[in-house]
Structure 1
Amino acid sequence: MMVYVVLVGIPLLDWTTTLIQETWNGDVPATYLAAAAMITDMWPAAQHGQFKDALGLIAVSVFFAMFLAALATAFYLGPVIWTVATILGRPWSYVRETVLFRRCEPVALCAKAISACLAAKSASWRRRPRALRRMARALRRVEPEILALHRTAGHLTVRSHRRRQLKRHAGLVVAALRGAEARVDRDGEAALGQLAAMVQTVSERIAVGRIGALLDEEDLDDTLRPVRDWEPFKLVVAALLIAGAAVGITFVDLPAGADTYVMGACGIFVLTLLYGRRVQQFLDLLSTLRGG
């Protein structure tokens, strides 16, 4: 989910930057010149008292602008929206594998986290620090999947009233898991077993669709504060940075065809900077789309 900007944004950014570059060089497309001519013809008509003709030109120019916007939406944003739905594994995705991937990924990551907890519990004194670091990384990969369940589970409509409650519950569950992980530093092996049991409960509840009761109420202390989901904010930042890089590339003298590869490299760099090791999930999804 976090890296769909690279897949679906580069063609749109390439078209936008080409338009900016052509306009900068004075090669404005004829369609835009025609729309501008309608607006400039309006002023002489208004100055000579021909308000009916002026209003007609305004109406035509507004309709023309709306038509161009609808056309751009259909030809550019339509495929983008459809591709995003596919990557996010929405029910109306045209690739069924992504739907299965998105629904199974949280459970698979929970299984890896459970395995990491048990490996840390059984590790020798010399190997335990490394095992605990692996466990921490596995748990960090589970957290965003839990926080995004209200979007990825496919249970809700866009404006469902249940969304806020599910987001709060997911934030409390992540806070509870972090508290259980912190107890490892105090209680040692006993805390590792309890942490693995909590992750197993979360995994089982996700598998059966109980995303509103990932943990029992007794596991959610009243002192817990829900963890915020920064995923949408990161996506906005990634989109802005990639768009800024794309606009900047238009003013750099590059060989023909190299700008697309440079934009792709910038996009991957930005996403790696924001998401770190989680970019590996995107690579897993790409292999699913390729059927590899």
Structure 2
Amino acid sequence: METYDVIIVGGGPAGLAGALTLARARRSVLVIDNGTPRNAAAGHVHNYLTRDGTPPAELLALGRAEVAGYGGLFVTGTATAAKASDAGFTVTLDDGRLLGARRLLVTTGLTDELPDIPGLAGRLGDDVLHCPYCHGWEVRDQAIGIIATTPMVAHQALLWRQWTDDLVVILNGQPGPTEEEAAQLKARGVKLIDDRITRLDPDRTAHLAGGTTLTRDAWVAATRMVARDGLLTDLGAEIEPVRMGDHVIGTAVKADPNGATTVPGVWVAGNISDLRAQVIVSAAEGLTAGAMINADLAMEDARLAMG
């Protein structure tokens, strides 16, 4: 069985940054990735200093080349299982191969769950947006519609108002704003429509239950963000709800500030443990986790050398 110092599951910015850090520390590193990044539909990465506007696939290709330059290895596939072993961990791939690792870094990210509205699926990151800091500039001064998916919609609308003064909120069955929130939205010129969307057409026209339609240049919908935590659940890692105020916005793997999970020898980085991390933050967390893993291995190397 092939064995490495560290196996990294997930080859996005967090995983690649961790791999780069570990490879530069002269650790044997293998990255397992199935090619399904969260931001695949997005045209560009933003707020990444010196890389703003880079297509996601290009950023990953650059990262993989840097990791490979220091001896890091890659496998295209899916890790279907992981379990503890005498030497550390055994990872099973979807083709049946078994791989060994002294430590694991899991950076599999999260899944965005959207409301069950016909025509909405598959458009996130294109003309259905979720993050004003990721996409606001690109739709500045355009007609934007917000599909309410949480009770936090007033806060969401006030943020998006920074990028446009043509903003409409469809409450879509969510509770209406409080009296104070309604006053804030009115003062900022945000229009509220108490109706439900029954279908969203490719031309960005929303059909409302009341019989009317509304066409916007872009739509916004907050997602429920669920950690891709299958491997970690199998290992016994603790998963916890993530709240914004009183509202649960998703789930994440519990970890300390350095990425160490509740399972000894297993670290995480990026959106799997930090739902709101943008690309540059995920990369920074991968760097931190990689450094901490190397430090942990260095202490183990010393113990083993002393017998």
- The TM-score normalised by the length of structure 2 is 0.25
> Who wins on radius of gyration, i.e. which is larger?
1
- The TM-score normalised by the length of structure 1 is 0.26
